[in-house]
Amino acid sequence: MASKKRIIIDTDPGIDDILALLLAFSEKSEGVEVLLISLTFGNVEVKSCLRNVVSMFHILEEEMRWRREQGRPEGFDTLRSHRPIVALGAENPLDDQRMLADFFHGIDGLGGIHHSHPHLTPKDAWEHLFDPTHEPVEIEPVCTGTNAHQSFIPSKCAAHDEILRALRENDPDTVTIVAVGPLTNLALASAADPETFLRAKEVVVMGGAVHEPGNVTPVAEFNSYADAFAAARVYSLTSPSPKSTLPPSKSLPALPSSLSRQLTLRLFPLDITLRHGLNRGQFRKAITPLLEAGSPLAEWVSAFMAHTFATLERLHENQSGDRAELSLHDPVCVWYALTADDEGWKPSETSPEDIRVETTGQWTRGACVIDRRDRHPIDGDEESSSDHGLWLSRRAGNRIWRMDKSPAESNFGEVLIERLFT
């Protein structure tokens, strides 16, 4: 029997982040175990992200109760078999000015759902569970108190500390980190204890735009732009010489001159995620009978998806009516973590690639930079007049696995909806 996939999801929920989490918890329990949900700022402030995650667990409890009463299978086996730890993380980027994506996701991250549908939002009594000043931490180093929620374990530790704890408590190469927000928590974890961080089997990153235009500037994707220094630092761990691509930081120390191994990082840039979508017509067809039957999850998801499709219509000339389509950036990354053995997943033919993140450019912050020149590689590891930045050196540069093909490009939206609601 194949061993369970152990997953950490680092996220900034967020509309497609919530869909990604729901996808992870809908998997069969024998296949996957979500160890930790580590939260970061990004789409909205990190405390709003926490409220959205707690609301998700609240809705899932209501949904499973409703399904039992209807005589339907409860689903969400992964959640019922193992409660994940939830931890609050970074409130701001390392060295950049903070930028949020509430223009798309709404001020609360879910299209204003906490105001428009207050009956779907739990009361604020849960907030003290994450407050380290509220009561003494009784269990070290897990940092979880005795007040555990029905569906999750609240942590009073910082998210990057919980990431390191999970990696220490599991064998090397058994935990996959799926990072679908800014990489600040991962940068903090790798700076605090790089060798423990490198115990991860792989880091799956939603971020960047390589051959596609950006979605927040002409060249930058949001997650890379939101904390370009963090992205550059995490990418540098894939290099045989991390110092060759490590950006200077006012917030974090330099990495050691040598590390025991290189990080395996699989990058899902806009180049692949934009090919996976869910349009309004598909969503309405699937959700209408569930709404009529009284599904709490259908009501909740339908509320924030209505905001999403309306926003897409406002932002894009070619998206109206049933053609309005949400790109499923974050769910694609979770889908990979769940189905990585599927032969339909393919990296680019040029992988591993030396992809670097721009941190200091006036117009290019967060851009993914690759070397498009037709030049011979060289063996040196020192800069020369012919190789500024060590782009040609075989001993330097990043080694990123840029994912380019998936087994569900043509129908991923339908796969997602089927997983969540049946």
Confidence of residue 2 (pLDDT cuts 50, 70, 90): low
What is the reported pLDDT for 31?
Answer: 86
Q: How far is CA 411 from CA 328, 332, 416, in A?
A: 11, 12, 9
What is the reported pLDDT for 135?
Answer: 60
For residues 108-135, give the mean pLDDT.
Answer: 77
What is the reported pLDDT for 111?
Answer: 83
CA 416 to chain centre: 16
In our burial notation (b when 16+ CB lie closer than 10 A, e otherwise), range 92-127 reads bbbbbeebbbeebbbebbbbebbebbeebbeeeebe
Sequential DSSP letters for 195-209: HHHTTSSEEEEE---
For residues 208-231, give the mean pLDDT.
Answer: 97
What is the reported pLDDT for 143?
Answer: 56
Q: How many CB atoms lie within 10 A of CB 394?
A: 12
Q: Rounded to the nearest 5°, which phi and psi values hold at 63?
A: -65, -45
Q: Worst-scoring range by mean pLDDT, 41-55, 183-197, 311-325, 360-374?
A: 311-325
Separation CA 39–CA 47 (nearest Å): 9
β-bridge pairing 32-39 and 85-88: parallel
- pLDDT higher than threshold 80 for residue 103: no
Separation CA 42–CA 98 (nearest Å): 8
- pLDDT higher than threshold 80 for residue 311: yes
Domains of the chain (ranges; CATH) run: 5-276+326-421 (3.90.245.10)
Q: Please list, in sequence order, all residues whose beta carbon lies within 8 angstroms of the beta carbon of residue 401, skipping any fewer than 6 positions away.
A: 264, 265, 266, 267, 347, 351, 352, 353
- Residues 361-417 have pLDDT tens digits of 999 999 999 999 988 888 877 777 778 898 999 889 999 999 999 999 989 999 999
Q: Worst-scoring range by mean pLDDT, 134-138, 273-277, 296-300?
A: 134-138
Confidence of residue 134 (pLDDT cuts 50, 70, 90): low
Cis peptide bond N-terminal to 352, omega within 30: yes
What is the reported pLDDT for 216?
Answer: 95
Confidence of residue 142 (pLDDT cuts 50, 70, 90): very low
What is the reported pLDDT for 334?
Answer: 98
56: amino acid identity, one letter: M
Q: Please list, in sequence order, all residues whose beta carbon lies within 8 angstroms of the beta carbon of residue 246, skipping any fewer than 6 positions away.
A: 232, 233, 236, 254, 255
- pLDDT higher than threshold 50 for residue 137: no
- pLDDT higher than threshold 70 for residue 148: no
78: amino acid identity, one letter: T
In our burial notation (b when 16+ CB lie closer than 10 A, e otherwise), range 18-51 reads bbbbbbbbbbeeeebbbbbbbbbbbbbbbebbbb
- pLDDT higher than threshold 90 for residue 205: yes
For residues 68-75, give the mean pLDDT.
Answer: 95
What pTM value is reported for the model? 0.94
